[in-house]
Chains A and B, each alone.
Chain A
């Protein structure tokens, strides 16, 4: 078992070192395209780290959103803006360096107060979480039933006999009754439903503001070209039809 732990720890260490190296490379690279691709690679390393921590939902989001679509969208944006950054000498003053080190020190000092990773006595594991895990994963979940019917989950029988509420399932008011076994989704969509709703509307308003910003820009550019006499009338009508 200790060999296993050692292996996981060394993999984690390698991932951390690689991600720091890549972060430094991103800062130093003068080509915006390579910086963007490296950002995608950084996200991939973070995905592996989340997987090692057992945070599957976070890993999935990191892979799909950060490594996937945001890299594509950034490259699409770069194809409009041009790929090269104008070289500009960066100079750090003494005060800036001092502030940087003080803030970094304070942040590191702040982490000393946090519980160790995986500590079962940490507040997050003792307050609301057990309740939710029991409500969502325990007892009568469909997934659990499917597994039990295959005879693969011997200990599941004892799980449902611990708590009568779990067996009651559906009748318990406010309970999830085992209908949503993934308690990350349950927390996000039900317990923190307002938060997720406004998250969705933030995404919606991001799209809305892009429409408001880019569409008039296109019209403006078109108008300028028309004044120069580059576009004849037929082509113009075709463009405004969309």
Chain B
């Protein structure tokens, strides 16, 4: 689809907005419907749109597959890590309210947010990874 003007132009126009919407859904997960899972999927959709229009090679040039694989692991580590931080501050594993003394609600909010960002990172990276592998497999035929 590399030589077609309309898809190129439209996708260039839309990808920033898709990314912004994905980030909004992740960041506002604790206030409005949405969260890490949905936001991560929307972010991955922007990458897939780019790869479909401009080709997988060019997309992998922008974000290398190695980085994606590492990000998938970092997301899980973030989620588990914030639980361990709560433990280090004297609470139980994932007892976020123990993170800030005398400010339980604030601690809960921070813990939930970091966990959501971790989920978003893993989901986004794994979706990109699946697309990379599957689309790459069809390229090699």
By a beta-carbon cutoff of 8 Å, the part of chain A in contact with chain B is 56-57, 59-61, 64-65, 68-69, 72-73, 76-77, 79-80, 142-143, 169-182, 184-186, 188-190, 193-194, 196-197, 200-201, 203-204, 206-208, 210-211, 214-215, 217-218, 221
- A181 & B30 in contact (Cβ 8 Å cutoff): yes
- B109 & A179 in contact (Cβ 8 Å cutoff): yes
- B96 & A190 in contact (Cβ 8 Å cutoff): yes
- A197 & B79 in contact (Cβ 8 Å cutoff): yes
- B119 & A200 in contact (Cβ 8 Å cutoff): yes
B115 is an interface residue with CB less than 8 A from chain A: yes
Choose among A79, A203, A208 the residue with the greatest number of B CB atoms under 10 Å from its CB.
A203
- B45 & A68 in contact (Cβ 8 Å cutoff): yes
- A207 & B45 in contact (Cβ 8 Å cutoff): no
Per-residue contact bits, chain B 110-130, to A (CB 8 Å; 1 contact, 0 not): 011001101100110111011
Answer whether A207 and B137 are a contact pair too, CB < 8 Å, given A61-B37, A69-B44. Answer: no
Answer whether A190 and B111 are a contact pair too, CB < 8 Å, given A69-B41, A170-B104, A210-B133. Answer: yes
- A203 & B123 in contact (Cβ 8 Å cutoff): yes
Per-residue contact bits, chain B 60-85, to A (CB 8 Å; 1 contact, 0 not): 00000000010011011001100100
Q: 8 closest Cβ contacts across the A-B interface? A: A177-B105, A179-B109, A207-B126, A56-B33, A180-B30, A179-B105, A189-B112, A193-B94
Partner of A193, one of B83, B102, B131: B83
Answer whether A185 and B69 are a contact pair too, CB < 8 Å, given A68-B41, A80-B134, A80-B137. Answer: no
Closest A residue by C-beta to B22: A64
> What are 21 A-B residue pairs whose CB atoms fall within 8 Å in the complex?
A59-B33, A61-B37, A65-B41, A69-B45, A80-B141, A175-B104, A176-B105, A177-B104, A179-B105, A180-B30, A180-B105, A185-B29, A189-B30, A189-B35, A189-B112, A190-B112, A200-B118, A200-B123, A204-B73, A207-B126, A211-B69
- A207 & B130 in contact (Cβ 8 Å cutoff): yes
CB contact list, B20-77 vs A, under 8 A: 25, 29-35, 37-38, 41-42, 44-45, 48, 69, 72-73, 75-76
- B83 & A73 in contact (Cβ 8 Å cutoff): no
- A174 & B104 in contact (Cβ 8 Å cutoff): yes
Closest A residue by C-beta to B96: A190
Helix, strand, loop or mixed for chain B's interface?
A: helix
Cα(A65)–Cα(B127), bound, Å: 10
A69 to nearest B CB, angstroms? 5
B137 to nearest A CB, angstroms? 5
Question: Which residues of A have CB within 8 Å of B75?
Answer: 200, 204
- B102 & A64 in contact (Cβ 8 Å cutoff): no
Question: Which residues of A have CB within 8 Å of B112?
Answer: 180, 185-186, 189-190
Question: Which residues of A have CB within 8 Å of B35?
Answer: 57, 182, 184-185, 188-189
Partner of A207, one of B83, B96, B125: B125
Answer whether A79 and B122 are a contact pair too, CB < 8 Å, given A185-B35, A210-B130. Answer: no
Partner of B106, one of A65, A77, A177, A193: A177
Cα(A143)–Cα(B14), bound, Å: 29
B2 is an interface residue with CB less than 8 A from chain A: no
Answer whether A182 and B126 are a contact pair too, CB < 8 Å, given A173-B104, A189-B115, A200-B75. Answer: no
Cα(A197)–Cα(B79), bound, Å: 7
Question: Which residues of B have CB within 8 Å of A204?
Answer: 72-73, 75-76, 122, 126
A96 to nearest B CB, angstroms? 34
Closest A residue by C-beta to B103: A170
B43 to nearest A CB, angstroms? 10
